[in-house]
Amino acid sequence: MNKKEQIYEGKGKKLFATDDAATLIAEFKDDLTAFNAQKKAQEKGKGALNAAISAKLFRLIELNGVSTHLIKRLDETNHLIKKTQIIPIEVVVRNIATGSLTKRLGIAEGVKLPFALVEFYYKNDNLGDPILNDEHAVLMKLASENELKTLKELARKINDILRPFFESIQLKLVDFKVEFGRDQSGRILLADEIGPDSCRFWDANSGEKLDKDRFRQDLGGVKAAYEEVLRRVEGALK
């Protein structure tokens, strides 16, 4: 599949056209951003680590019955994907309280939530990705009521697949963000990526953070943490 002109550049990936109008190539970048891109850095090899981790997780998710945009990983940093229209809603699933949930609502850091909490955020950098309820999303025509129901169901299903998987490799899946797109027939597919840039992973034994919080909080060892996540994921998913 030929990589043709670049059609989009986001914070973590570039999208390229291919010979097939229904297919794109997503190239994972080495850029690290946090706090709505106010904090930026580069980490050589990070794109390849995320591309490898995300490909493995998308395959696991697909095998467990959730359709994704991933066709295949082409090389270190490039994924061949189905073209979708991205729904501008970041769907966050939380198992343990931390981050913005503790700041906004005063829930104690590290508390295990009684059920997986699903939240919607409006994907809009100018507004700083504000939290949304269903009625906001429907009146802004970001998605239909039916689609919101599907997004919640798929997000919970993905959590039900990933949480025990990460538990089996001694990682607590604290929370994560997913994005979805509509294909040409309107079917909703898991899109974007899943990995240490968009999830929080805490080592089950030491509690060590093995995700982008190492960058957000200047803890150092970002690449080593991502490498450790890949090592464990690859160890479990040959």
* List of residues contacting ligand UDP (CB under 6 A): 90, 92, 99-101, 129, 175-177, 198-200, 212
Specify the residue, 3 or 14, whose C-beta has the smaller distance to ligand UDP. Answer: 14
Cα angle at 61 between 57 and 63, to 5 degrees? 115
Q: Least CB distance from residue 80 to ligand UDP, whole Å? A: 23
Give just the sign of the alpha carbon dihedral 99, 101, 106, 109.
negative
* CB nearer ligand UDP, residue 112 or residue 238: 112
Residue 105 vs 139, nearer CB to ligand UDP = 105
- State in angstroms the smallest separation of the CB of 177 from ligand UDP: 4
Rounded Cα–Cα distance for residues 15 and 20 (Å): 14
Whole-angstrom CA distances from 227 to 34, 196, 211 are 20, 10, 10
The DSSP string of 177-224 is EEEEEE-TT--EEEES--STTTEEEEETTT--B-STHHHHTT-S-HHH
> Which residue's CB comes closest to ligand UDP?
99
CB of 54 to ligand UDP, least distance (A): 12
User: Min. distance of Cβ 101 from ligand UDP in angstroms?
Assistant: 6
Query: Given the complex with ligand UDP, which of 33 and 77 has the nearer CB atom?
Result: 33
